[in-house]
Amino acid sequence: MRRAPAGGRRAAAGELALLTALFLVVPPLAAFGLYFGAWHGLRHLARLVALDPANAADLGQRRLARPVGRVLRQAALPTTAVLAALGVLLAVPGLAGRAVEGLVPAGLALVLALTVPHMAVVAVMDRRQRPGGPPEVSSSTPASG
């Protein structure tokens, strides 16, 4: 039998309550951005770090510096490219407004279109990690896809 997620149902209910409050209090686009970047993205990143065999020894000893450094190095180029593009949008007068009008709806449509393939890839990763289902969850390996 599979072990319950860390914190069990109470933790899941608390997270759901927190997300519900976020979406009730914050404008929808901002709430989605906060959810995606600060909750889903970070949990998914932690999961990928935990699944990377290169990090196993360090994580087993509860050493985070090398795994975090590895992720930062891997993310440096794409992050720099996105920040440069954002800088151009903000530097050219009027460009940001036109870009938001066209890019936000297209970006949200792209995220929605990628959701099901993303879920499928995560399911395959889960099956490869542990036959029969997702990996057991502990406080050091958050499960979220």
- pLDDT tens per residue, range 11-37: 889 989 999 999 999 998 899 889 988
112 in a structural domain: yes
Residue 5's pLDDT band (cuts 50, 70, 90): low
Of 3-7, 61-65, 91-95, the range with the lowest mean pLDDT is 3-7
Q: CA 17 to CA 29: how far, in whole Å?
A: 18
As beta bridge partners, residue 138 has 141
Q: Look at residue 101 and tell me whether its pLDDT is greater than 80.
A: no
61 in a structural domain: yes
For a pLDDT cut of 90, what percent of the chain falls above it?
21
Please state whether the predicted TM-score (pTM) of the whole model is above 0.85. no
Give the 3-state secondary structure of residue 134.
Answer: coil
Higher pLDDT, 91 or 98: 91
33 in a structural domain: yes
CA distances for 5 relative to 2, 22, 43, 99, angstroms: 9, 23, 14, 41
Q: Which domain holds residue 63?
A: 9-129
CB atoms within 10 A of CB 124: 10
Name the amino acid, one letter, at 26: V
In angstroms, how far apart are the furthest CA atoms of the chain? Answer: 59
Count of domains forming the chain: 1
Average pLDDT, the chain: 80
139 in a structural domain: no
3 in a structural domain: no
134 in a structural domain: no
1 in a structural domain: no
117 in a structural domain: yes
